[in-house]
Structure formats: structure tokens, C-alpha cells
Amino acid sequence: MSFFRSTTVPQGSVARQGKDSESSIYLDHQATTPLDSRVLDRMLPYLTDQYANAASHHAAGRAAAAAVDEAREQVAGLVGGRASGVVFTSGATEANNLAIRGLAEAADTRLGVVTVATEHPSVLEPVAALAAKGAPVLVLLVGPDGEVDLEQLTAALDEQTLVVSVMAANNEIGTLHPLPQIVDIAHRAGALVHCDATQLIGKLPLDVGAIGIDLASMSAHKLYGPKGVGALVLTRDAARRLSPQLLGGGHERGHRSGTLNVPGCVGFGEAAAIAADAMQEEAPRLTLLAKRLLSGIEVVGDVTLNGPATDRLPGNLNVSIKGTAGDDLMLRMPSLAVSTGSACSSASPRPSHVLLAIGRTHEEAASALRFGVGRFTTEEEIDRAVGTIVDTIKTVRTESRGALTGRPA
């Protein structure tokens, strides 16, 4: 795999967040990211002195609302959306549910949904719930790198299609979808496009306005912001066609009732602003670190990359390691925070639906590890992680050879 044979990584712009060289190594940035200390600093006043409800009409309330509106601008600025189209939610799960269920509930003629087999469960499950109620639903299969077949997509659309829901970047195998082409195809068929942009934003540029994405979901905790806050970014047309899923005081222009999480929104805004600045330098650094990790692990042989070898979500790596089981490797490497699939589905013992969708066998899927490199990961940590991973794989393989031959390993 020549693409992944790179070595040096510039370390210059990386702020270390109080790590010592003996601490455990966090390589699970697709599951979540640490809170950037600059984000925490920005949030702190709203967790302490400035606690007013952003819906209150007194001066303190208006100040909180102004801080939330600034965050709206920052989030919209990162993704090229309208600030007034930013609906703050509790995260991307809620944003995905609001998009799909909200559009379906408001629709009268077009009721069809087209999505992709490798989407996040927070898209697939609401879509399955609509199918169970009789909506015409099509789930597209993907190619060996998780790619969508645009001809299949074109053929799947008709005058019944309400919305096409396709993620920007896959959280398990890092596939990047060609959003401009997808939007073009969907719009030509008269369908809206919802994009779960959770993994892409802050890592690669996204301009929902220029591309024409109608609804985009995102979550602060994937870009060094706090957990429990996200957004659905809407065009005017999508905003008109969405039924709220949380009813109450009419917050967020009626799209999502509930007292706003002011510190969360402020933190999300700051995280978005930092990412907008840092992204251009950070993305190549993350890609190099992930390549370094792969070339280190590949030394053991029989390692298969899951997902594309090029044009991949920066920092993401997913490999199947023959003769091992991902959960066993994880248990044997307590100093490493990695994942066997997506964290969201890791509570279930079933193999990853994404790995099965790209044609991996159950055994290959069970032998997969997902790594996610992030803003504060250092080259030294990658090298230390490689040492641990390689030693552990060798031990497991030697033990299983011993078990097969009946001789002590």
C-alpha cells in the first residue's frame, strides 16, 4: 500500500493538553474528541456567572441570547450555512432524527426516503421506522471502499422521493461521499438532501450553501467542543418543510423547543471558529499520522485496510488484522483507547454493519480495529501505540498457532 508509506509529521502547531509521555494514548477521535482548553475558557463564564436563560427578556437573558447568536454565526461560518438556519440540538443523533422524521411528518405527497447502507444508526433507525409505517424507502448498497454508486442513486429516485440522506464522511471507514454530484442528482429529481456532516466538519472544508445541501447535521463533541450540543443547519425551503419533533415554548424559531444549552452553544461556536482556522494545517497532519500508524501496523502482515486508501477522512484508520479478534486485542492493550467498530454500536455484539456492507466477512469484521487520530496526538504517541499493537498482534498469533499445533506457544 504505497500511499500509506510516509514518515515525518510536522508537529509545530500542535498544542499539547497536559499529557505526560507515560499516559494512555487516545486514538478514538471518531467516537469523541477532548474539549479544547480554549473552548472551555470561552464556556466557563456561561457555566458560572452568566447563567441566564437565553429566552429571558431581562438584560442578562439578552446577553445570553447574544452569545448564542454569535455561536450561530460561528457554526454557520464553518459550514457555509445561514446563521438563521442553525437550529441547536442536543447532538447529531437528535439533528438526524429531526431532519428525517420532521420532513416525513410534514410531507403530504412525496414520502420516499433514499439513504445508504453505511449511514449512522441515527439515520438508519428513523428511516427504518418510516419504512415500517409504509413509507417507500430505498437503502443503497455501497462499493468495496464504501462508495455510493451514482447511477444506482439516480435510478433510485422518482417523483415519490422526499429526501436523500447521505453522510459527508463515514465514521468507521472514512469514506468521503461526492456531495456536489449527489445534490445535483437529488435536486434534478425534485428531492431534498439531508447530509449527516458530523465527521467531516472541522476536518475538511464544507460549504452547504455552495453545494446546495438542504439540511446538515453536526455535533460539537466531534470537533473539540462539548458533548450534548449539535445543530441542524437548514435552508429556507427546508425550514418551511420541517415539523418540529420537540414541542413546547417554540425555541429555535419553533423547530426545537427547550431551554438552550447556552454554555454548550457558546462552546460549539468557539470550537467551530478554531476548526475553521486550524483545518488547513491540521488535516494533512492527521492524514500523515494515520499513514504512519498504518505502515507501523502493516509490518506484522495480513493487515487489510477497510475503506479507501486515498481521499479518506483525515485521521481515520480502520484495519482488519487476520488471526485476531478486535475485542480481544482491545482488552490486551489497556493503554490504548481504540474502537472495534463504531462506538455507537459497540454495545451490541453484532459485527459492524459498515464492514459487512463493504463486503467483509463476519470474521474479517470481528478482527477490525478503528483508530482515530486527533488534534493533540503526537508522532511519539503513534510510535508508542505501534509498538504496543505490533507486540500484541504477534503474541495473539503465536498463542493461536500454539493452540492449533497443541505445542506450547
Q: Footprint of ligand PMP on residues 346-375 (CB under 6 A)? A: none
Binding range to ligand PMP, per CB under 6 A, among 67-75, 87-95, 249-257, 306-314: 87-95
What's the closest the beta carbon of residue 172 comes to ligand PMP, in angstroms?
8
344 a catalytic residue: yes
Of the pair 93, 235, the CB lying nearest ligand PMP is at: 93
Between the alpha carbon of residue 278 and those of residues 134, 324, 353, the distances in Å are: 45, 37, 33
Site string for ligand PMP, 255-294 (x = CB under 6 A): ----------------------------------------
Binding range to ligand PMP, per CB under 6 A, among 86-94, 151-159, 250-258, 277-285: 86-94
Among 93, 97, 340, 352, binds ligand PMP (CB under 6 A): 93
Asked if residue 91 binds ligand PMP (CB under 6 A), the reply is yes
Asked if residue 339 binds ligand PMP (CB under 6 A), the reply is no
What's the closest the beta carbon of residue 198 comes to ligand PMP, in angstroms?
4
Burial of 390 (0-12, 13-18, 19+ CB in 10 A): middle
Binding range to ligand PMP, per CB under 6 A, among 55-63, 85-93, 244-252, 264-272: 85-93
For cell 450540543, what's the residue?
Answer: 229
The site that binds ligand PMP (CB under 6 A) totals a number of residues, namely 13
3-state class (DSSP) for residue 258: coil
Tell me if 338 sits within 8 A of 370, measured CB to CB. yes
161-165 and 137-140 strand pairing? unpaired
Residue 164 and residue 104: Cα distance in Å, rounded?
12
Among 135, 344, 356, 390, binds ligand PMP (CB under 6 A): 344
3-state class (DSSP) for residue 301: coil
Among 28, 20, 25, 21, which Cα is nearest to 335's?
Answer: 25
Asked if residue 198 binds ligand PMP (CB under 6 A), the reply is yes
The DSSP code for 177 is P
Among 97, 122, 235, 287, binds ligand PMP (CB under 6 A): 122
Tell me if 29 sits within 8 A of 372, measured CB to CB. yes
Residue 31 and residue 44: Cα distance in Å, rounded?
24
Neighbours of 187 (CB within 10 A): 14
What's the closest the beta carbon of residue 300 comes to ligand PMP, in angstroms?
28
Asked if residue 199 binds ligand PMP (CB under 6 A), the reply is yes
For cell 484508520, what's the residue?
Answer: 317
Does an H or E element contain 196, and which?
strand 192-196
The residues of the shown chain that bind ligand PMP, judged by CB under 6 A, are 91-93, 120, 122, 167, 171, 196, 198-199, 219, 230, 344
Q: List active site positions.
A: 344
